[in-house]
Amino acid sequence: MGDAGAATGGSTLNLSNMAVNSAGRGLQVAGAGSQLSIRNTTIASGGEALSVVDGGTLVLDGVSARSDGSASGANGYGLSMRSGVARISNSTLSGRNRAISMFSTGDLFIERSTIEGLVFLQGDRANPGTPPPVATVVNSELAGSTAVALLDGAAFTAVGSSIRGTGTGRGLSAVSVSGGTFRALDASVIEGATTGISISSGQVELDRSRVVSGSGPAMSVGGGGGSITLRNGASVEGGNGIALEVAALGRADLSAAASTIQGDIVGKVQGINTAEVNVALSDRASLTGAIINGSNVTVDGAHWRLTGDSNVQQFGMAGNALVELGDGAGFHTLQVAGDYTSDGGTLVFNTVLAGDDAATDKLVIGGDSSGQTNVRVNNVGGAGAQTNQGIELIQVAGASNGQFDLAGRAVGGQYEYFLFKGTGTDGNWYLRSQLPGQPDPCDVDPTLPDCTPVNPEPVLRPEPGAYLANLQAAQTLFRIGYHDRNAGQNAGRAWARVDGARNGFDAVSQQLDIRGNSQALTVGADVWRADTGSSAGVMISSGNASSTSTNPLTGYHARGKVKGEALGIYATWRSRSTADPYAGFYVDGSLQRAQFRNRVEGSGLSPEHYDSRAWQGAIEAGYAFPLGGARNGGLFLEPQLQVGYNRWDALRHTEANGTAVTAQDADGLFGRVGLRLSGVTRWGGAAAEVQPYIAANWLHTRAESQVRMDGEVVDARIPRSRAEVSAGASVKFANGLGAWGGISRQQSSGYHLTSAQLGMSYSW
């Protein structure tokens, strides 16, 4: 049985527009440096239709190759590879036994092709130092009873491809991984008539790809260990209702980020042997299904909806995690054999809000509970009733150190339910149709048996937020930089500007919500000015700010008010470019002395008045690079750096009720780094110059926004670092008049500020 043709010994063979028929092997390339290129050709053989051995290179384009395996002793492979390279495009390969078989080592690349039959890759177990075979399939279709099988370190990557397993027998899957790595990327689809992907050992990675099964689980892990990673919109759907099934002696580590899993996750049990199933959901991942015999399960910023009773060894939640114990159609129990932890996650219970024995979803913890959990309750047809012990939602057998807080309202009929922790040694949590403020016997008589002192979280008065708002407003009310006075080098000998701002932030673990606004007017004039644009001058400012601090827990609020004035000096040195007056380097400095009259008035309290004073200085530098433009204009990019310092006189005020209010670490450095992009257009023969701009800045401060109330620190949730973007334009006329305007936005976690400014100048 001979070959129809071969390229060997470093030779090159090019074939095109042919029909090759062979009772034995079709075509072969063998040896390093040998290359066989085939285009627009059909190959039919009784043996291997194509063969690559000993480092040869095969290139196919527009080829149809098939082996019917009729030759005596033939393998019936469409393509057989033992060390070498194959590049296949726009082709169809099939074989009675295997469409493609790769052994030991080799590199296979397939694009825009159809593979009918098994793609089999196996590393050389006898020579572990040999690199395993690697295959990449792009925008292609693969189909077979089992479409892809990987063994002994082989690696397979599917990119935008379809892989279908047509076999319906037990244990058959579209992809089989035994000690290899399988990756599916860019909207690839793996579909199995029985199982999608089976793993006896190895790794599976799905990135923006989908796995779906027919009569079996979407994925299965055998007696070895499997690592499964889902990311970027990957999805897994079990046709028989099981997304992942792990054999009794197997181990599966499933990690899903920003992906969807539809179906149960099941660890099998056989005698004393139990599967190990670790599940980590994160970054908006979603699981709809039960977890049966789970090991370590974490939900971090993700969503899990139970469709049946579930049991795990350890369970944890973090971030914006959401766990729904059901959809209300039935009532489910999540059983945690070991410890339960949460860092701000949310549990959703479906409950018939009625008496103590009402039906409900449950959380049963066999170990300890810790951390904070939000609890939401959906009423399922309950008409409400007076409770005694309450409806038990959460059982804790170990140390009940976790804090469960009712999020939102739970109402049934005319009754409102609240979440209570059991007293004494009872660490369980109950829904009761009682007000949480009713006296506890332990509060009345702490010497009663089983009473443990509890320090409830204090409810804060809103006045500290108003003091914080006054301090924050005074720190920034008169903060003026070079471009705030000069409007992009369209400077005048005399100038004036007015600005307004609205901001919002929270304080003290977000218990206080603070909103405010401010306005300021600054007028200045140069006392010296050089032809280069260097100048020195004086400025005076006046402004006010108002704020409202609200505590949503009590509904009380306090209003803050600041009125202030500042007197300052400034100086600028410019190294003006000879090519354009807008280009070049500048250094600018300013120093101000400010005083403020402050007022805080809380609901039902006498108004408080106090004064404060501060020094503020800043140094700024920048360089405007010309980026090009026409004779009547140009474009400039200007990096900037500003560093300043606030120094406050001692801030101390005693309220009418005797509370001592002091500032804490209000002194400190502040800084800004940014880029400013501007363009200059000259109209009417320089009768007017217009300069629009956009800018982006990074702001940082070392000063604390804190006050102390009788020594207790109250701090504002204003980040030390925040981003700012701004835009605006200026215009200067030949008669010396100029005007400018702009808007800006500062944003960071828990803080925002929006401001606008208008200005005018005059030169002579």
Q: How many domains does the chain have?
A: 2
**Which tokens hold the place of 193?**
């008539």
Closest CA to 472 of 221, 216, 706, 728: 706
Specify the range with the lowest mean pLDDT, choosing from 93-107, 334-348, 682-696.
682-696
Closest CA to 301 of 316, 290, 317, 279: 317
CA 500 to chain centre: 34
Say if residue 671's pLDDT is above 90. Answer: yes
Instruction: Round to whole Å and give the CA distance between 267 and 277.
Output: 6
Average pLDDT (47-60) is 95
CB neighbours (10 Å) of residue 284?
Answer: 16
Say if residue 490's pLDDT is above 70. Answer: no
Where are any strands of DSSP class E within 422-556?
429-432, 494-507, 512-529, 535-550
Residue 681 pLDDT: 85
In this structure, what DSSP letter does residue 275 have? -
Q: Is 698 helix (H, G, I), strand (E, B) or coil?
A: strand
Q: How far apart are the first and last CA of the chain?
A: 103
- Domain stop point among 263, 282, 305: 305
Residue 456 pLDDT: 38
The amino acid present at 50, given as its one-letter code, is L
Question: 625: which strand partners?
Answer: 637
**Which tokens hold the place of 154?**
């082989």
Say if residue 459's pLDDT is above 50. Answer: no
Residue 171 pLDDT: 83
pLDDT category of residue 455 using cuts at 50, 70 and 90: very low
Instruction: Please state whether beta strands 660-664 and 668-683 pair in parallel, antiparallel, or not at all (unpaired).
Output: unpaired
Sequence-separated contacts (24+) of 273-278 with Cβ below 8 Å: 273/248, 273/249, 274/248, 275/221, 275/246, 275/247, 275/248, 275/249, 275/250, 275/251, 276/246, 276/250, 276/251, 276/252, 277/244, 277/246, 277/251, 277/252, 278/251, 278/252, 278/253, 278/254
CB neighbours (10 Å) of residue 237?
Answer: 18
Say if residue 458's pLDDT is above 50. Answer: no
Residue 530 pLDDT: 85
79-131 pLDDT, tens digit each: 999 999 999 999 999 999 999 999 999 999 999 999 999 999 999 988 888 99
Between residues 544 and 491, the one the model is more confident about: 544
Helix extents (H) in 59-141:
none
CATH number of residue 667's parent domain = 2.40.128.130
Specify the range with the lowest mean pLDDT, choosing from 533-542, 574-583, 688-697.
574-583
Taking a C-beta distance cutoff of 8 angstroms, is the pair 668, 646 a contact?
A: yes
Q: Among positive and negative, which fits the CA dihedral 550, 554, 555, 556?
A: negative
Average pLDDT, the chain: 89
299-336 pLDDT, tens digit each: 999 999 999 999 999 999 998 999 999 887 889 999 99
**Domain-embedded: residue 446:** no
**Which tokens hold the place of 199?**
């793993």
Say if residue 272's pLDDT is above 60. Answer: yes
The CA-atom distances, in angstroms, between 25 and each of 96, 99, 115 are 14, 14, 19
Specify the range with the lowest mean pLDDT, choosing from 369-383, 439-453, 669-683.
439-453
Residue 222 pLDDT: 92
641-668 pLDDT, tens digit each: 999 999 988 788 887 655 678 886 778 8
Taking a C-beta distance cutoff of 8 angstroms, is the pair 356, 387 a contact?
A: yes
Say if residue 454's pLDDT is above 60. Answer: no
Taking a C-beta distance cutoff of 8 angstroms, is the pair 282, 300 a contact?
A: yes
pLDDT category of residue 688 using cuts at 50, 70 and 90: confident
390-424 pLDDT, tens digit each: 999 999 999 999 999 988 767 553 445 789 899 88
Where are any strands of DSSP class E within 208-331?
210-213, 219-221, 225-231, 235-246, 251-257, 260-267, 269-270, 273-274, 276-282, 286-288, 291-292, 294-300, 303-305, 310-318, 322-324
Say if residue 489's pLDDT is above 80. Answer: no
**Domain-embedded: residue 606:** yes
Residue 577 pLDDT: 59
Average pLDDT (463-481) is 88
The CA-atom distances, in angstroms, between 719 and each of 514, 549, 626, 669, 682 are 15, 18, 35, 14, 41
**Domain-embedded: residue 662:** yes
Residue 188 pLDDT: 98
Rounded (5°) CA angle 738-739-742: 150
**Domain-embedded: residue 642:** yes
**Domain-embedded: residue 517:** yes
- Domain stop point among 284, 305, 326: 305
Burial class (CB in 10 A: 0-12, 13-18, 19+), 11: middle
- Domain stop point among 305, 339, 367: 305
Average pLDDT (682-701) is 85
Instruction: Round to whole Å and give the CA distance between 230 and 242.
Output: 16
Between residues 114 and 580, the one the model is more confident about: 114
179-230 pLDDT, tens digit each: 999 999 999 999 999 999 999 999 999 999 999 999 999 999 998 889 999 9
Which string of b and e fits 256-267 if b means at least 16 CB within 10 Å? bbbbbbbbbbbb
**Domain-embedded: residue 366:** no
Closest CA to 30 of 81, 95, 100, 89: 81
**Domain-embedded: residue 396:** no
Residue 343 pLDDT: 94
Where are any strands of DSSP class E within 90-218?
92-95, 98-104, 107-111, 114-116, 119-123, 134-138, 141-144, 148-151, 155-159, 162-165, 173-185, 189-192, 195-207, 210-213
154-165 pLDDT, tens digit each: 999 999 999 999
Between residues 596 and 628, the one the model is more confident about: 596
Burial class (CB in 10 A: 0-12, 13-18, 19+), 372: middle
The amino acid present at 27, given as its one-letter code, is L
CB neighbours (10 Å) of residue 44?
Answer: 17
Residue 288 pLDDT: 97
Residue 383 pLDDT: 63
Question: Cα torsion at 15, 16, 22, 27 (round to 10°)?
Answer: 40
Q: Which domain holds residue 499?
A: 493-762
Burial class (CB in 10 A: 0-12, 13-18, 19+), 723: middle
Instruction: Please state whether beta strands 25-30 and 3-7 pair in parallel, antiparallel, or not at all (unpaired).
Output: parallel
**Domain-embedded: residue 123:** yes
